[in-house]
């Protein structure tokens, strides 16, 4: 049975509840983990290409290099930006899977499988990638036209005449670029749920994107503001609960009649594996609010035994996993919340209730393709026989 919707702002706070799902958090966790691994490998290559040694990068950043403020060469920046681009692409694909699970849940299917969602995302989710890329390419193409016009403008007499004739189209083109930038920003929020809900190709996704921008712009802004009021509150409660759980572990295992100082040393060794960069200190008020500010202050621990060093290393990896779980809840709220928003906006602008639409089951129709090929071969054989 489909979830009963209000089809207004009252549906937006449901994002926190729909995001509180082990299934969706697990999918987002996989996306963050895979994206971070890909980014870190390419970022390491970028730092190495800029003349850094592996030891320097490890001592400064550990697993996740942060290039802000670091002098990198052209190829260093190339690999870092390539890593960031692939990270974003991976998040979009896994976001499609989360939005698909949320959409099926809204339609009443509480047991929609992770495997099917990921299969859908990696099979049909490419539209979520190509849609913003298409907008970016159009903007670049227009800017190249502006560069060509500027070069023509350098020609004496002819340049001034061409620029005079093109002045009005140039102004409208500049305004159109601003419009495309708004559409590009909108794609960050809606292209993933559009693909998950409507199974659109790139052209259809662009149509939905621009129609939403034209018809429901202020309602969209209001819903997003409301969502971003809900998200920090829900995330703070979720992260605070995780931090308190870790604090309980600390209180128990660091008791003097249990592991005592031995566990404290292992704990400090684990924290030392987290990345360190001045920009991270801007998050100190948030971490202090949820009780996790010690994560920003790794301490060097000496005189560890081999078992303590191994445990510190493993606990350090576990800390990354725990942080990724907390961040995953934020990510799931983003995708689930915008899925809700798109369903509401579609009802407002097109009077379509996507929860009532009987969507064809998504499958990679290999069997259908094979059967159609067999039918074609049989038809051709009959025609040859008759001839």
Q: What is the CB-side half-sphere exposure of residue 343 using CA atoms within 13 A?
A: 33
SS3 258: coil
287 burial class (0-12, 13-18, 19+ CB within 10 angstroms)?
middle
Average pLDDT per run of 10 along the chain, which is 387 residues long? 85 93 95 95 93 87 85 91 95 96 91 92 91 94 88 79 79 91 93 92 91 92 94 92 86 79 82 77 75 69 79 88 94 95 92 76 42 51 52
Q: What is the pLDDT of residue 377?
A: 52
Classify each residue of 311-336 as buried b or exposed e, where b means 16 or more C-beta atoms within 10 Å of its C-beta.
Answer: bbeebbeebbebbbbbbbbbbbbbbb
Q: What is the pLDDT of residue 375?
A: 53
Domain boundary assignment for the chain: 9-365
336 and 189 in contact (C-beta within 8 Å)?
A: no
Q: What is the CB-side half-sphere exposure of residue 386 using CA atoms within 13 A?
A: 6
Distance (Å, rounded) from C-alpha 241 to C-alpha 117?
Answer: 29
Spatial CB neighbours of 145, under 8 Å, sequence gap ≥ 6: 173
User: Which residue intervals of the chain are DSSP H helices?
Assistant: 14-19, 22-49, 54-61, 74-106, 114-124, 126-152, 158-165, 167-198, 202-215, 217-253, 261-271, 284-290, 306-350, 366-386
Per-position DSSP letters for 201-221, written without gaps between them: -HHHHHHHHHHHHHHSHHHHH
Q: What is the pLDDT of residue 369?
A: 42
**Cα-only R_g, the chain:** 26
Distance (Å, rounded) from C-alpha 51 to C-alpha 57?
Answer: 10
Q: What is the pLDDT of residue 380?
A: 54
A 10 A CB-CB count for 250 gives 14
Q: What is the pLDDT of residue 284?
A: 75
9 and 222 in contact (C-beta within 8 Å)?
A: yes
Lookup result for tokens 């189209």: 169
């Amino acid at each position: 049975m489909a979830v009963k919707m209000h089809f207004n702002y009252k549906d937006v706070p449901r994002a926190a509840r729909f995001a509180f799902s082990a299934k969706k958090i697990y999918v987002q966790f996989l996306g963050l983990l895979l994206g971070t691994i890909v980014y870190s490998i390419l970022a390491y290559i970028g730092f190495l290409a800029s003349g850094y040694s592996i030891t320097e990068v490890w001592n400064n950043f550990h697993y996740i290099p942060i290039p802000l403020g670091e002098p990198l060469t052209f190829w260093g920046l190339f690999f870092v930006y390539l890593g960031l681009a692939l990270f974003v692409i991976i998040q979009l694909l896994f976001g499609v899977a989360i939005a698909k699970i949320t959409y099926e849940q809204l339609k009443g299917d509480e047991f929609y499988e992770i495997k099917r969602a990921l299969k859908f995302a990696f099979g049909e989710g490419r539209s979520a990638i190509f849609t913003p890329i298409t907008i970016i390419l159009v903007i670049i193409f227009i800017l190249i036209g502006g560069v060509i016009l500027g070069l023509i403008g350098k020609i004496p007499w002819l340049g001034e005449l061409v620029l005079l004739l093109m002045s009005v189209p140039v102004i409208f083109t500049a305004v159109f670029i601003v419009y495309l930038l708004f559409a590009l920003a909108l794609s960050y929020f809606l292209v993933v749920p559009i693909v998950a809900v409507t199974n659109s190709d790139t052209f259809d996704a662009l149509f939905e994107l621009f129609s939403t921008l034209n018809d429901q712009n202020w309602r969209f802004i209001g819903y997003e503001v409301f969502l971003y009021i809900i998200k920090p509150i829900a995330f703070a409660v979720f992260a605070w609960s995780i931090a308190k759980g870790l604090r309980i572990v600390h209180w128990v295992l660091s008791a003097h009649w249990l592991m005592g100082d031995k566990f404290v040393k292992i704990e400090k060794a684990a924290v030392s594996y987290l990345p360190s960069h001045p920009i991270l200190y801007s998050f100190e008020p948030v971490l202090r609010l949820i009780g996790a500010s010690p994560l920003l202050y790794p301490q060097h621990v000496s005189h560890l035994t081999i078992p303590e060093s191994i445990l510190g290393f493993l606990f350090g990896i576990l800390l990354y996993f725990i942080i990724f779980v907390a961040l995953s809840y934020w990510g799931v709220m983003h995708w689930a919340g915008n899925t809700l928003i798109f369903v509401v906006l579609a009802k407002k602008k097109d009077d379509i209730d996507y929860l009532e639409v009987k969507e064809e089951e998504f499958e990679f129709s290999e069997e259908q393709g094979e059967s159609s090929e067999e039918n074609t071969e049989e038809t051709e054989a009959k025609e040859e026989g008759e001839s």
